[in-house]
Every structure is written in structure tokens, then in C-alpha cells.
């Protein structure tokens, strides 16, 4: 079990906005470490979606946005599309455990 | 174009050793941290360790320290992940990934993954 907790699943209709939370503690996110997000489709390698809390790599649509507040972070997907159906993982640094990934969230477009 | 190409799938027996590889191209291998991530069947991602090929400085997750070894060969732009004694619980997909910053706090490019199956 990870020290970064995400909801197992979130769902939304096409066009809606969904958010994925990444709950940490004062030993990781709350200590000021950056949060990064990855998208993974079944059978493929993860892809960097957001780095250092809110920055988007080149080529990532601006429908994806990240934020951080206190001991948690969030990934928002606006204008949800069928192609966004995937697993999403947050990542940060923990003072005791080092680099860690979140538990992962499956996004379903209903 | 940045590329990380991993070695092919492996099937091993418990107790055997194994080394898998990750050959990179399209960037300066020597100056950039490269790491390894495990994904057990149907599970999430686990950060295992990273290495700086320039000086072979390496860091491991406490969960994997002492159980695996990460190395790099600058002459052929290749990173390695090595087990001396495999266990059935090592069955997983292993990804190599390039660090996206000097602080090596996130990965911006990933290999395609190597499936390792350990079974008697």
C-alpha cells in the first residue's frame, strides 16, 4: 500500500470534468515535494502527463491540469473524451520512503 | 528522437539470476539519471531505483535495496537491472525510464517494458 492514496476509480460522461485526488501527508506532498502525474493505457508504458504539480509536457492537451494544496494534489480532466479512459498515477517524494507512486485511479467514460 | 528500448520477455525459475537491459538513444545518456519501475500483474507502479550513468551514482527504494542491482555501461548507452536470486514474487513488468530533471524527480520518457515471469 502506498503513502499516496488515490480513489480506485472515477467516471464521467463525455464532455464532463472529472478530478482525481492524490492524498499524502506532511512527509511527502505536505513537505513541499512536487507531484507528477502519469497516464497508462492497458498493455502500454506510462506516459508523463503533468510534472512539478501543474506543468504540462509538450503535446499534452490543456484539458489536463494539475494542482496541489497542503498535503494533497489533484489532476483534473475537462471535456472528458472516450480516449481518456486509462489508469492515472500520481508520484512524489517521501522523506522516509523516497520516490513513491500513488495507488492509481481508473478513469471510465460512461 | 528520445528512445528507450528494453530487452525481451524472460521466463526463469526461482533461484536463477537475470539481467535485463535498456538501450537508449536520442539524448546524452551520460548526463541524465535513468530509473526502473516495477508493475506486478494487475497492480500499480513501484519506484525501484535510479542510476546516473556518468558516475554510476545510484539510489534504491528501501523496499528493493539489497535485492537488486542497477548498473550502466556508458560505452553502449545501456542501463541494466540485475537479480542474483529470482523469486516467484519478482514476476512483473519492469520499465526503464529517463529522468526529466536534474533532480530526477519524475520520468519523461519510458521504455516499452520487459515482462519477467518466474515460475517453477
Nearest to B47 among A34, A48, A99 (CB): A99
Residues on chain B touching A60 (C-beta within 8 angstroms): none
The answer to whether the CB atoms of B44 and A91 lie below 8 A apart is no
Q: Answer whether residue A88 shows pLDDT above 90.
A: yes
Give the pLDDT confidence score for residue A93 in this predicted structure.
Answer: 96
Residue B112 · residue B7 · CB < 8 Å: no
CB contact under 8 A, B95 and A98: no
DSSP 3-state assignment of A53?
A: coil
The pLDDT tens digits for B22-47 are 999 999 999 999 999 999 999 999 99
Q: Which grid cell sits at B116?
A: 519477467
Mean pLDDT of chain A: 97
Query: Strand A47-50 and strand A36-40: pairing?
Result: antiparallel
- Chain B, residues 15-44, CB within 8 A of chain A, namely 37, 44
Whether residue B53 has pLDDT greater than 80: yes
Chain A's closest residue to B4, CA to CA, is: A45
Find the Cα–Cα–Cα–Cα dihedral A105, A85, A39, A71, rounded to 10°: -30
pLDDT band for position A103 (cuts 50, 70, 90): very high
Residues A26, A38 contacting (CB under 8 angstroms): no
Q: pLDDT, tens digit, for every residue of B68-89? A: 999 999 999 999 999 999 999 9
Using 50, 70 and 90 to split pLDDT, how confident is the model at B104?
Answer: confident
Amino acid at each position: 500500500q502506498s503513502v499516496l492514496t488515490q480513489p480506485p476509480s472515477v467516471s464521467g460522461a463525455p464532455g464532463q470534468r472529472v478530478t482525481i485526488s492524490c492524498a499524502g501527508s506532511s512527509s511527502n506532498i505536505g513537505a513541499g515535494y512536487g507531484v507528477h502525474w502519469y497516464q497508462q493505457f492497458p498493455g502500454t508504458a506510462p506516459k508523463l502527463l503533468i510534472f512539478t504539480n501543474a506543468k504540462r509536457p509538450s503535446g499534452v492537451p490543456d484539458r489536463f491540469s494539475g494542482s496541489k494544496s497542503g498535503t494533497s494534489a489533484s489532476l483534473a480532466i475537462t471535456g472528458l473524451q472516450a480516449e481518456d479512459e486509462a489508469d492515472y498515477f500520481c508520484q512524489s517524494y517521501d522523506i522516509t520512503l523516497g520516490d513513491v507512486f500513488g495507488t492509481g485511479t481508473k478513469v471510465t467514460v460512461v | 528522437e528520445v528512445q528507450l528500448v528494453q530487452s525481451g520477455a524472460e521466463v526463469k525459475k526461482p533461484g536463477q539470476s537475470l539481467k535485463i537491459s535498456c538501450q537508449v538513444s536520442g539524448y546524452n545518456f551520460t548526463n541524465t539519471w535513468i530509473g526502473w519501475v516495477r508493475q506486478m500483474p494487475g497492480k500499480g507502479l513501484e519506484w525501484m531505483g535510479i542510476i546516473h550513468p556518468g558516475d554510476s551514482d545510484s539510489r534504491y527504494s528501501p523496499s528493493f535495496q539489497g535485492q537488486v542491482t542497477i548498473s550502466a555501461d556508458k560505452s553502449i548507452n545501456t542501463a541494466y537491472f540485475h537479480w542474483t536470486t529470482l523469486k516467484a514474487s519478482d514476476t512483473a513488468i519492469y520499465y526503464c525510464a529517463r529522468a526529466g530533471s536534474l533532480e530526477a524527480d519524475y520520468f519523461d520518457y519510458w521504455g516499452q517494458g520487459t515482462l519477467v515471469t518466474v515460475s517453477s
